[in-house]
Amino acid sequence: MLRAAILGSGAIAAVHADAYLYHAGKCEIRAVCDVFPEKAQALIDNKGLKNATAYKEIDEVLSRDDIDVVSVCLPPGLHADATIKALKNGKHVLCEKPMATSLEECDRMIKAAEESGKLLTVMANFRFKTPFRKVKQLLDEGIAGKVLHATVNSLWWRGANYYDLWWRGTWKSEAGGCVINHAVHHLDVLQWMLGKPKHVTAVITNIAHDNSECEDLAIAILEYPGMLTQVTASLLEHDEEQEMIFQAEKARISVPWKVAAAKPLPNGFPEENVDVIKAIQDRYDSLPNETLDAHTGQIDNLIAAIEGKEKLLVTGQDGRSALELIMAIYKSGVERKTVSLPLDPGDPFYKQETMLEAVPHFNEKKRSVDNFTPTEITLGRDYGR
């Protein structure tokens, strides 16, 4: 039986708690920690965590010998220090997205995991959703041919008061806006499916969130050999119609799932290619659905990896790769020029202190609250099966 601790008791901590509770026969939550210990106790009470204790100080939790795995559900600016401390104290770590606020922090986290011999995984819950798994399988098989053009719409809606929470809306504590804390999901999946782009050209701005220093809208063009990808990250979209579209040589496939295919008429205009559509649809339907979704699926993989039964499916290096693409988008948007990947350690966007000197403040944060009531959150659209 693995013993788990959750650091932070904000809304996403409840999602982690539910995922651990699903695996009640394999693990048990023993501790919840928050700078507001009453919030930690409220989470314990609300989830019926009978053997869990509430803490205010992280060090008290990490000093316990009966904790095997830690979920880091803190504000992004605290991810690196908490993760490194946990690893050095002999705990496996599941760190919420984004992995950290800088690539330099990511590298220290990865090094700490290597030196400790413990596992470090970064939350990438979209990878554990059925449509993303199936579309990746189809891309890997090449059934639709080479991808020529991809579209990523990471479209969300947040009210201006979303940024009133004390840690949100500053480059120092959150390291950015919609790109790093919302589009991170889609950018992780994009690289999981297609790999790292060669060049990035982006524009970032803030249009509707006056209590945030950071962007609420970003548009980027990613260049791959023989392919372009366009990415829109936004907090302005009322319908939150998130999607990933892959236009390949033989067909279009996408999440949410859709397949379309065309063949040329004698004059070059399109007509529907029903044979290709049927072949791809049949293959999609033949692939199994995931039995465990999102956070529950990733925690299931982490438990199995700790037990030596499975390979860890999302590594610290994966979390770093997502952040590197994000930093390239910010660098391009700030410097108004095309940026090439990878970013080297001498780049201003490798370390937080030099990144902070480079980024604009679209607004200054003027309002701050310790907590929201209620604390429930929504996690984006249902992508179906």
Q: Are 107 and 215 in the same domain?
A: no
pLDDT averaged over 10-residue windows placed end to end, the chain, 385 residues: 96 96 96 96 97 98 97 98 98 98 98 98 97 98 98 97 96 97 98 98 98 98 98 97 97 98 98 98 97 95 98 98 98 98 98 98 95 76 78
Please tell me the predicted confidence (pLDDT) of residue 180. Answer: 98
Pairing of strands 147-155, 227-234: parallel
Residues 99 and 225 in one domain: no
Do 38 and 142 fall within a single domain? Answer: no
Number of domain units in the chain: 2
The CATH number that applies at residue 340 is 3.30.360.10
Q: Residues with Cβ < 8 Å from 204, sequence gap 6 or more? A: 179, 215, 217, 218, 329, 330, 333, 334
Residue 196 lies in a domain: yes
Do residues 210 and 274 both lie within one domain? Answer: yes
**187 lies in the same domain as 81:** no
| 209/91 same-domain check | no
Residue 68 domain flag: yes
Please check whether residues 265 and 169 belong to one and the same domain.
yes
- Check which CATH number belongs to the domain holding 16 and give it: 3.40.50.720
Is residue 376 a part of any domain in this protein? no
Q: Measured between alpha carbons, how far is 36 from 112 in angstroms, rounded to an integer? A: 28
Element of type H or E holding 244: strand 243-248
CA–CA dist 128, 378 (Å, integer): 18
385 occurs within a structural domain: no
Let me know whether 164 and 230 are in one domain: yes
H or E element, residue 186: helix 184-194
343: helix, strand or coil:
coil
Residue 380 lies inside a defined structural domain of this protein: no
Looking at the structure, tell me whether residues 106 and 175 fall in a common domain.
no
192 lies in which domain range?
Answer: 127-289+321-358
Handedness of CA 10, 80, 103, 133 (dihedral sign): negative
Residues of the chain above pLDDT 70, percent: 99
Q: Which pLDDT score, from 0 to 100, does residue 253 have?
A: 98
If asked whether residues 284 and 238 sit together in one domain, one would say yes
Q: Please report, for residues 79, 116, 295, the alpha-carbon distance to residue 298 in angstroms, rounded to integers and kept in the order given.
A: 18, 21, 5
Tell me whether residue 267 is in a domain: yes
Residue 339, in any domain of the structure:
yes
In a domain, 377, yes or no: no
Cα dihedral 65→101→130→288 (10° resolution): -60
Same domain, residue pair 309 and 282: no
Statement to judge: residues 131 and 248 lie in one domain: yes
